[in-house]
Amino acid sequence: MQEDFTAFMADFGVQATWTPSAGGAVQIESVIFDAFEENQGFDAFRAAQKEIEITCPASKFIGLKKDEILVINATSYRVREISLIDDGNIKRVLLGEFQQ
Going along the chain from its start, the domains and CATH numbers come out as 2-97 (2.40.10)
Q: Say if residues 97 and 78 touch (Cβ distance below 8 Å).
A: yes
- Which amino acid would we find at residue 86? D
* Percent of the chain whose predicted confidence (pLDDT) is above 70: 84
pLDDT at 27: 96
C-alpha span between 20 and 87 (Å, rounded): 26
pLDDT tens for 5-45 read 777 777 889 999 999 999 999 999 999 999 876 655 555 55
Cα–Cα nearest to 35, from 53, 15, 59: 53
- Using alpha carbons, select from 27, 34, 39, 36 the residue that is nearest to residue 68: 27
Question: Are the beta carbons of 11 and 31 closer than 8 angstroms?
Answer: no
